[in-house]
Structure 1
């Protein structure tokens, strides 16, 4: 898996995304904590979380158009710079009357992140090709994202507790500037395929038309969204479960560490599985195993069994992620890749937001045990749906001259330059 780092441009891109991701994740705890410290209002803090989801839902399709229409390398650099400007606005919110500036900052930072993600994912095949190096790149990126997501929020919370919001914003801005400088060092890449339509809505329609016509891609989009909804509901209930059933916040920390360890252990294996087996098989099997591991975790009465279950979650979870992403990158025509990637990311945001609210709501209405088992059942349901909706031989997804490179498994030169 680490051999892909020999490709210079991917090494730079990976480092930039890791640094930028760390800077962004440091804001997850610090920004709501700052809002609560200034206002003392739980509602105001909740509004902050709502503004974090809003850009993904509103701008996702447009982000895909921009990723297909503009130079993706320059777009990533520009969004890093927008992040710096946007998050700096939070420094001006020092009183309850000016707390609305935090919402502006979160909205701007979230918009920049939404524009960055489809461009970043669509750029990876141009850097490493569509052969085995692509799954290695996706697996390594998934591990890095998981590690950053686990380590960044507590680091940001600690920095906020010690030095205040100014230190967190400065660290996040510095990370974005370093990311922009690193991406700017990568090589310019020629684009394949024709430009997107000048009409934005027509461009979005082109991407959606491809998803509708590509049976396997359409099926994966539907079943992966259902799986992510259940996953978000289960994740939202993880902290209450750990506190009430396993002993307290320290036990929750152990569970999160076990999840991170499982992700790390699963990434190298996921690369081989995604390369050797059809996406239909690896995704369905991964979804079923994730549901089983969650069921084992949430029906545990002792911490050791819960920790083993959390570790076991890692392998299938990262396999699903890598398999879906690699499929989209390999089978989508290059000129549509940003828009199709954006469709997956937008559905991911919608499913995650819905699941994050549905899990706790179901727990309040029916009890935690019923809510947990229902979410596990929904996650399990996504597996047979994948086998049903994704064709065994999805040849139509590779139709058309724009996908010729994907069929050939094009690889860059060993140096990546």
Structure 2
């Protein structure tokens, strides 16, 4: 299949000029990947809401209903660690299409009227185990489609923006959908979205060979990828830079309902508190990705990561709704640092390790956010919501500062992007 920009060549024709997100859509393969991502993401959101409602109706248990959401996070660590070798050992298009078809099959079984609650939860686990393999393979494939330069950074950023936007609108849209169809009927829509994604990836992307084909045990291949990622000090620091800020920033989100109750703003306030940080992140990524050159993004990355969590300290003063929303918007805006770190990460990862590294990074990101949410909830029980969020801001900023210093100390010779701090 041809593209308007040759993969890996035209991507960086003007290496230090702002490329802009629109240029991504001149690459035909990226258009297919982007639409497939949007389709499957919609299917996942619909499945999460539908399953939660369906499990509650069948069991009458709030715990089991909530567990359908938790099972979207918990198996990530298992799939990302034990199955990451799939991303490098098999042809990437085959992996992506196979994951979509497996998820579609799970959704078909979920939609059957005879499927019991235990099976619904088990099938949800299967989708969650497959997700990090799919996400890591897709991100590694982006380097083939867009090159490993600035267009890759913008492509990864745009997919991330779509995911964050789904958090803002997906749950509401899914709720509206369930007023028109039954939960099992909505799951049929999920089947269609996964099949649509599989077809787009099969027909819209080129076949590429596996990065490291092998016949040894999959577990050994996967674990060797983890060792290769964390044995290298520079890679380890860069992965932590991508994990640590989200681990702390999730705390105000999971405590939004409790904080809204404390300041007396009701359920409407809860929605605003949960959305504000994502709005700040989306706006800053779009602005930085569109207006700044790759060098400028690299120069601001470490200063941004050092300050992005500092606004959360304002929670210690117990501000009202509007000041709190401004705090969260500012904290979210700092996450534009990922545009710089993404570039360093893909440059530092060896080609033969790229699929496993992307899979582990994706799985770890989900896992540390789950850990951060659990620790934040536990701390709030003892110290209260405001002090807990403020404490997350302090601890997070100190951790990010230490990682930024480590990143600067381990920069390759001649790389100017890490000299900003």
Residue 36 of structure 2 corresponds to residue 16 of structure 1: yes
Change (3 A) 1:134 1:162: same
Are positions 1:171 and 2:189 aligned together? yes
Tell me what 2:109 maps to. Answer: 89
**2:388 alignment partner in structure 1:** 371
Aligned to 2:254: 236
Q: Are residue 29 (structure 1) and residue 49 (structure 2) matched? A: yes
Say whether the 8 Å CA contact 1:55–1:114 is kept in structure 2. Answer: no
Which of 47, 65, 68 in structure 2 is aligned with 1:48?
68
Equivalence for 2:419: none
Answer whether contact 2:100 2:197 (CA < 8 A) is retained.
yes
Q: 1:258 to 1:364 in 2, by over 3 A?
A: closer
Q: Is the 8 A contact 1:63 1:118 kept in 2?
A: no
Higher helix share: 1
1:150 has 2:168 as partner? yes
In the alignment, is residue 292 of structure 1 matched against residue 314 of structure 2? no
Cα 1:393–1:368 change in 2 (3 A) is closer
Q: What is the rounded CA distance, in whole Å, between the counterparts of 2:369 and 2:381 in structure 1? A: 19
Partner in structure 2 of residue 311 of structure 1: 329
- Paired residue for 1:124, among 142, 152, 159? 142
Change (3 A) 1:256 1:360: closer
Return the match for 2:279 from 226, 247, 261.
261
Kept in 1, the 8 Å contact 2:104–2:194? The answer is yes
Bigger mean CA deviation after superposition, 32-41 or 67-76: 32-41
SS state of the match for residue 395, structure 1? Answer: coil
Residue 77 of structure 1 and its aligned partner are, at CA, apart by 1.1
CA distance in 2: counterparts of 1:2 and 1:278, whole angstroms = 18
CA contact (8 A) 1:93 1:99 kept: no
State the 1:120 CA deviation: 0.7
Deviations 1:311-350 (A, max 9, x none): 3233212x23333333322321222111111221232222
Q: CA deviation at 1:20?
A: 0.8
CA distance in 2, matches of 1:51, 1:192: 30
* Structure 2 length-normalised TM: 0.85
Question: How far apart are residue 263 of structure 1 and its match?
Answer: 2.9
> Contact conserved, 2:86 with 2:218, CA < 8 A, in 1?
no
Q: How many residues align?
A: 394
* Shift in CA distance, 201/105, structure 1 to aligned 2, threshold 3 Å: closer
Q: Is 1:2 equivalent to 2:22 in the alignment?
A: yes
Following TM superposition, by how much is the alpha carbon of 1:277 offset from its aligned partner in structure 2, in angstroms?
Answer: 4.9
**Does the 8 A contact of 1:207 with 1:336 survive in 2?**
yes
1:63 matched to 2:80: no
Q: How far 1:83 sits from its partner (Å)? A: 1.1
Which one of 334, 343, 357 corresponds to residue 351 of structure 2? 334
The runs of 5 or more residues in structure 1 that have no matched partner are 399-417
CA contact (8 A) 2:93 2:202 kept: yes
Q: How far apart are residue 300 of structure 1 and its match?
A: 5.7
